[in-house]
Amino acid sequence: MPYPNISLAKSHGFDDHVLQSYLAQLYLRKSLNQIHNMLYNPEKPDPLQAPTGTPAGNIIDYIQNSLDMRFVPPEFKFKHNDPPADDILAARLRAKYWGAQVITYRPFVRQILEHNFATKAAQSSGDFRNDAPTAPEVIPQGEITNELIENAAKGIRALIESTRPFHNLQDKRFVITNVFGTAHA
């Protein structure tokens, strides 16, 4: 589907600020769909694992390049450490941006959680009673590397930041399409 004709929209009275926000939202939505397909398509092998079991950083680099702030119109540009926006359009754009970061780095957080679970399960004797059968031994898969820790830290930061975009808006009723999705973001 082609992007909308901005000149035509302007000629019909749409505000440039709204149009710029809309185009940025479309770009992010398209990027989110591509990221989700690359990382979570069940028909494709795990792109974060190279054949040797080491993380494949090139896909993360590709995703981060697609989420570079170049797509953000000047009036909506922000730095990662900026306070939350006071404009609903800027807040929605930031929420979608951090949502893209969340789905990008979520697999790394999951790998660490699964590794820790497997390690604890391997150390567990299975039950409180001495006569109960023990759990089968679980060997943690893979090694926790510095790269994995760094990417998981980015994922945790993205999870936190994804909850903040609407915190600086004035108290009034927000117009959102899905309150549960917005609250989850």
pLDDT attached to residue 36: 82
Each residue of 88-116: pLDDT tens digit?
Answer: 899 989 988 898 888 888 888 888 888 87
In degrees, rounded to 5, the angle at the alpha carbon of residue 134 between the alpha carbons of residues 131 and 136 is: 160
pLDDT attached to residue 51: 43
Supply the pTM of this predicted model: 0.72
pLDDT attached to residue 42: 75
Radius of gyration in angstroms for the set of CA atoms belonging to the chain, rounded to a whole number: 21
pLDDT attached to residue 13: 92
Token pair for residue 113?
């959680």
pLDDT attached to residue 137: 40
Q: Are 31 and 66 in contact (CB under 8 A)?
A: yes
pLDDT attached to residue 145: 86
Q: Which residues of 38-48 are buried (b: 16+ CB within 10 A; e: fewer)?
A: bbeeeeeeebb
**Distance in angstroms (rounded) separating the CA atoms of residues 167 and 164:** 5
Identify the segments of the chain with pLDDT beneath 50.
50-55, 128-140
Q: Are 55 and 49 in contact (CB under 8 A)?
A: yes
